[in-house]
């Protein structure tokens, strides 16, 4: 029988690409999304690509009654939990919203899962749990020192899941720690969209390439890196989505499990390297100006993806040029995102 997966936040950037992968791989899915940072249009785009429909529930993970009913009506095998707020800078301004959406939301979800006897979850964690670590190449056991409120909410949820596993070892839990997801579906039909002015590097560069912004501000060229600009481990959204399938396979094989897994490429790129790659992909010049550092930014962070390779047999396939050309295709086809 087909496995049924509840995907919370399944219309968001990572959620939409993962939902599509699940449908393509013969899973049945129910997407639960409150549309706070996603568009209903994404639902039909996913269906169009998968050539099949799926159940969608508009709602919030903090809505206990909604979850209770949903779990009563459906036999769910596993939850993939993306729903949450995700902007590190914004989290400093609105900490209560971040703790409420991310931590309280996850707690309600876990309590309702427990009541419904669903004890299998893949949680969307983030490399931001490493924060200002002493090393630039993070293994899963590297010290965790999140800087932003956002990173702290992710670490708190990881801790809650670990405490739960300790007291109830029949749970199956995988925390996926994403590095910097970028890119888009190779068709250009789904991709990254945000209601607000983008603050992340690639979404901002695409605005410059489209002529919507005059120039990119490079936040500092005095970092302790090869060219002075910040270096990050950018990962193609398709590789990331595929990582969830491999994690799901692992959960199916194990009787009980609680693991943290980095999803990154193991290579980091500087801001200048990203600009060059985007210029190659788009054929456009990206004007930029060097300004001061952005608060909370670190020199360099990169995944050590060895554990993912050994444990779930997953490795990233795509390079920075492919990430940039897929983003550019999506943006040319959808200059205003889904609107
Ligand atoms: C950010 C979040 C991180 C989140 C990730 C998702 C922060 C501090 N961290 O990571 O929690 O998981 O997005 O992708 O916000 N840069 C510029 N000019 C810009 C924008 C960025 O020079 O206009 C530089 C930054 O200084 C950094 C690099 O580009 O060196 C990447 O920045 P960004 O895309 O915002 O990602 P992170 O900050 O690494």
Q: Each residue of 312-328: pLDDT tens digit? A: 999 999 999 999 999 99
Q: Which ligand 1 atom is nearest residue 150's CA?
A: 11
Task: Give the other-Cβ count within 10 Å of 231's Cβ.
Answer: 24
What's the pLDDT score for residue 132? 80
pTM of the complete model: 0.97
Q: Each residue of 77-113: pLDDT tens digit? A: 999 999 999 999 899 999 999 999 999 999 999 999 9
Alpha carbon nearest to ligand 1 atom 14, residue: 180
Residue 186, C-beta contacts closer than 8 angstroms, at least 6 positions apart: 238, 326, 329
On the question of pLDDT at 197 being above 90, the answer is no
Pocket test for ligand 1, best of 201, 293, 320 (most atoms within 8 A of CB): 201
CA of 184 to the centre of ligand 1 (A): 18
Q: Please check whether residue 148 lies inside any domain of the structure.
A: yes
Domain count, the chain: 1
What's the pLDDT score for residue 253? 95
Q: Please check whether residue 15 lies inside any domain of the structure.
A: yes
Q: How confident is the model at residue 195 (pLDDT cuts 50, 70, 90)?
A: confident
Q: Please check whether residue 286 lies inside any domain of the structure.
A: no
Q: Please check whether residue 212 lies inside any domain of the structure.
A: no
Q: Please check whether residue 124 lies inside any domain of the structure.
A: yes
Active site residue 318: no
Closest CA to 131 of 157, 149, 112: 149
Q: Please check whether residue 180 lies inside any domain of the structure.
A: yes
On the question of pLDDT at 1 being above 90, the answer is no
CA of 180 to the centre of ligand 1 (A): 8
Q: Which residues pair with 120 in a beta bridge?
A: 172
CATH of the domain at 50: 3.40.50.720
Surface-to-core class of residue 288, CB atoms within 10 Å of its CB (0-12 exposed, 13-18 middle, 19+ buried) = middle
What's the pLDDT score for residue 339? 86
Q: Please check whether residue 285 lies inside any domain of the structure.
A: no
On the question of pLDDT at 295 being above 90, the answer is no
Residue 152 φ/ψ, nearest 5 degrees: -70, -35
Q: Domain containing 28: what range? A: 4-184+234-265+302-317
Q: Please check whether residue 88 lies inside any domain of the structure.
A: yes
The whole-number average pLDDT for the span 302-308 is 98
Residue among 27, 98, 130, 150 flagged as catalytic: 150
With beta carbons less than 8 A apart as the criterion, state whether 121 and 57 touch: no
Q: Each residue of 119-138: pLDDT tens digit? A: 999 999 999 999 988 788 99
With beta carbons less than 8 A apart as the criterion, state whether 314 and 263 touch: yes
């Amino acid at each position: 029988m087909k496995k049924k997966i509840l995907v919370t936040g399944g219309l968001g950037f990572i959620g939409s690409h993962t939902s599509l992968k699940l449908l393509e791989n013969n899973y049945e899915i129910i997407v639960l999304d409150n549309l706070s940072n996603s568009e209903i249009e994404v639902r039909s785009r996913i269906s169009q690509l998968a050539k099949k429909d799926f159940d969608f529930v508009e709602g919030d993970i903090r809505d206990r009654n909604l979850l209770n009913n949903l779990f009563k009506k459906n036999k769910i095998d596993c939850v993939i939990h993306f729903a949450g707020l995700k902007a590190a800078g914004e989290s400093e301004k609105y900490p209560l919203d971040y703790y409420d959406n991310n931590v309280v939301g996850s707690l309600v979800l876990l309590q309702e899962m427990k009541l419904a006897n669903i004890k299998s979850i893949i949680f969307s964690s983030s490399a931001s749990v490493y924060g200002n670590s002493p090393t630039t190449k993070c293994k899963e056991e590297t010290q965790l020192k999140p800087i932003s409120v956002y990173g702290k909410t992710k670490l708190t949820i990881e801790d809650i899941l670990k405490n739960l596993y300790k007291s109830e070892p029949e749970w199956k839990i995988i925390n996926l720690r994403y590095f910097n997801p970028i890119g888009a579906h190779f068709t250009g039909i789904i991709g990254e969209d945000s209601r607000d002015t983008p603050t992340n590097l690639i979404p901002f560069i695409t605005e410059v390439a489209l002529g919507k912004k005059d120039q990119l501000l490079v936040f500092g060229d005095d970092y302790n890196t090869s060219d002075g600009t910040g270096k990050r481990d950018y990962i193609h959204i398709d590789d990331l989505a595929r990582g969830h399938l491999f994690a799901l396979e692992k959960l199916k094989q194990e009787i009980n499990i609680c693991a943290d897994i980095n999803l990154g490429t193991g290579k980091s790129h500087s801001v200048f390297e990203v600009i060059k790659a985007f210029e190659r992909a788009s054929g456009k010049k990206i004007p930029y100006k060097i300004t001061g550092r952005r608060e909370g930014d670190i020199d360099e962070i990169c995944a050590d993806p060895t554990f993912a390779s050994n444990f779930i047999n997953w490795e990233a396939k795509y390079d920075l040029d492919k990430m940039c050309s897929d983003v550019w295709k999506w943006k040319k086809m959808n200059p205003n995102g889904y609107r």
